[in-house]
Structure 1
Amino acid sequence: MKSFRLSLAAAASVLTLLASAGTTGASAADLEVVASIKPVHSLVAGVMEGVGEPQLILQGAGSPHTYSMRPSQARMLAGADVVFWVGPSMEVFLAKPLETLAGEAKLVSLSESEGITLIDMREGGAFEAHSHGDEDDHEAHQAGHDHEVGHDHEEKHAHDDGHDHEEGEKDHAHEDHAHEGHDHHDHGPDAHIWLDPENAKSIVNAVAEALSEADAGNASTYAANAARLNERIEALEAEIATGLEPVKERPFIVFHDAYQYFEKHFGLSAAGSITVSPEVIPGAQRVDEIRTKVSELDAACVFAEPQFEPRLVEVVTEGTNARSGVLDPLGAEIADGPDLYFDLMRGMAASLRGCLAK
């Protein structure tokens, strides 16, 4: 009888341990993690390997500047335990839904994470006195502003000298609209933080910390994955730096000013952007300014983006020696998953090297 009681006690202990293990596994399996955009999703997926897979809100070639959420994505947010996003200056479409739908979810704004280096938005248009230092960035801002004032003054004289009044009013209205967009987007930090590999490593660390708090049972896995990811990012950084070294001094123009983290980290020579923000169509004045800049600098390339209309790039390069290329800061055409970030960065480097080296 005593032996039977001991057997029952042992069985009970085993069942308790199994139940405990089952509870831990269920906790990890039930953890609903949501990421806003593809580069963020990729880094989160890398940290979660072997534990689970995050869900992605903005899929395909959608732009975080203009996206509208679907009902299925609203349900995704409503069921989330942890949500990773850059912040309201990037995923504009998410700001209100996160307030109303995310409920008790832990919201991680990666732009506010420890170790993230933020760079202020530039003036847009031609990046005067382009350089890689903070003081020179301020000078570039001032120079760009002075240039626009002078340009406006010249346009006013041309208008007074006999341009059609009605047409002039339309042009000024369009430029005013563009200027409104300029004011809205140029103040504060640039949100494309993942394009700096050092920031990417800080994002990985922030993701691992947040997931470990939400799912302590898998904290060691998250930490190990984060360490491996950061080693991969360091190797990627060295690879890209070597590949871009021969073209660092070649000037180029981008569709919108999304790349300065990449430019500054790798010492590239961007000379301007066609538009300040992708949802604001540039006026004739800005397009003319950029075309002039392309000719003056003998810019090697003007880069479009897969999310936006390429016609503007054709207009800017018309009559110049510049070639056109494509840069994809979001990985719009790359398969989702933990390798997307690495493919995105390599793809951008390859596009720059391929176009600038010709």
Structure 2
Amino acid sequence: MAGAGAPRLLIPAGTSPHGFALSPSQAGMLAKAEVVFWVGGGLESALAKPIATLAKAARVIALSRTPGLVRLPVRHLGDDGHGHDHGHDHGQEANADDPHYWLDPENAKAMLAAIADTLAAIDPARKDLYARNAAAARAGVDALTADFMGRLAPLKDRPFVVFHDAYQYLEHRFGLAARGILAIDPDRPAGARHIAELRARMVKLNVACLFTEPQFPSRLATALIEGTQARIGVLDPLGTGFPPGPDLYGNMMTANLRAFEDCLGARP
């Protein structure tokens, strides 16, 4: 929207989209909106009712319905590293899509087009501006993708595990080799027995890297890799460490792809 205005962010940076509750000021923001972009109920389930009741005058765009999206089912990675359709920590049905669509750069480009088209329909006087902004953003996504395709190609067979299964779209696009999900609740401390079981899984899978996220305590990851050949990397599907704005997506994707490159590329 550069040159036309600035969007308002309904869910603050660093806040989980799953159990979010609107403040009175946020409810007022939603009620006054002309257009609301959200991924959809599969991710931001807590917003479904407020959007339906408060944003009655707005055009509501669920980006999960964008035509042409690559869609992957929610999965469960067992000890064999193979995916199985299974319910997942966002509460979807077994045959639902994984809602982290934006982590595939091609999906991000499709969403950019949908956003630009919607803004142009609401504000036709600036349709050329929205089209130019979207084209520039897509070019940036293409450049980032081409760069990391080459950089990550030598690492495609290096196995890793994650604490949070948010990254299969990124894995699918860049050919990376997830081997498991270590089921960890960041709000509940893991006991010694559970840590030992998870560590045994990592040894069995010959894991090169354990990827955690900012909300997980670093001491837990350190305990898990003790006695293994694995290293620790940090991923973040929401880019919570970056300020909201037009550069957030590129910064977030670059940080995640560099985390894969650095952790999987290191040698024990």
Q: TM-score higher than 0.5 here? A: yes
Contact 2:74 2:88 in 1 (8 A): no
* 1:232-276 alpha-carbon deviations (Å, 9 max, x no partner): 111111011112122221111111100000001000011111228
Measured at CA, do residues 190 and 251 of structure 1 come closer, stay the same or move farther in structure 2, by a change above 3 Å?
same
Contact 1:196 1:262 in 2 (8 A): yes
Give the structure 2 partner of residue 141 of structure 1.
84
Measured at CA, do residues 93 and 246 of structure 1 come closer, stay the same or move farther in structure 2, by a change above 3 Å?
same
Residue 64 (structure 1) aligned to one of 17, 22, 32: 17
* 1:135-186 alpha-carbon deviations (Å, 9 max, x no partner): xxxxx317xx8xxxxxxxxxxxxxxxxxxxxxxxxxxxxxxxxxx8669346
Whole-Å Cα distance in 1 between the matches of residues 242 and 129 of structure 2?
26
Give the structure 2 partner of residue 109 of structure 1.
62
Whole-Å Cα distance in 1 between the matches of residues 102 and 138 of structure 2?
13
Q: Deviation at 1:191?
A: 0.5
1:207 is paired with a residue of what secondary structure? helix
TM-score, normalised to structure 1's length? 0.68
1:223 aligned to 2:176?
no
2:75 is paired with a residue of what secondary structure? coil
Measured at CA, do residues 183 and 351 of structure 1 come closer, stay the same or move farther in structure 2, by a change above 3 Å?
closer
Measured at CA, do residues 271 and 280 of structure 1 come closer, stay the same or move farther in structure 2, by a change above 3 Å?
farther
2:50 is paired with a residue of what secondary structure? helix
Contact 1:60 1:332 in 2 (8 A): yes
Contact 1:251 1:299 in 2 (8 A): yes
Give the structure 2 partner of residue 313 of structure 1.
221
Q: CA RMSD in A?
A: 2.6
Give unmatched runs, 5+ long, in structure 2. none
Give the structure 2 partner of residue 197 of structure 1.
105
Whole-Å Cα distance in 2 between the matches of residues 185 and 276 of structure 1?
18
Whole-Å Cα distance in 2 between the matches of residues 301 and 330 of structure 1?
21
Greater Rg over alpha carbons, structure = 1
Higher relative contact order (CA 8 A, sep 6+): 1
Contact 1:124 1:273 in 2 (8 A): yes
Farther-moved stretch of structure 1 (186-195 vs 343-352): 186-195
Give unmatched runs, 5+ long, in structure 1. 1-47, 130-139, 146-179
Q: Deviation at 1:293?
A: 2.7
% identical aligned pairs: 43
Q: Deviation at 1:126?
A: 4.0
Whole-Å Cα distance in 2 between the matches of residues 185 and 320 of structure 1?
34
Farther-moved stretch of structure 1 (77-86 vs 313-322): 313-322
Give the structure 2 partner of residue 354 of structure 1.
262
Measured at CA, do residues 315 and 122 of structure 1 come closer, stay the same or move farther in structure 2, by a change above 3 Å?
farther
* 1:299-338 alpha-carbon deviations (Å, 9 max, x no partner): 1111111134445434432332211121011000011111
Higher helix share: 1
Contact 1:306 1:326 in 2 (8 A): yes
Q: Deviation at 1:53?
A: 0.8
Give the structure 1 partner of residue 51 of structure 2.
98
Q: Which amino acid aligns with 2:84?
A: H
Contact 1:243 1:353 in 2 (8 A): yes
TM-score, normalised to structure 2's length? 0.89
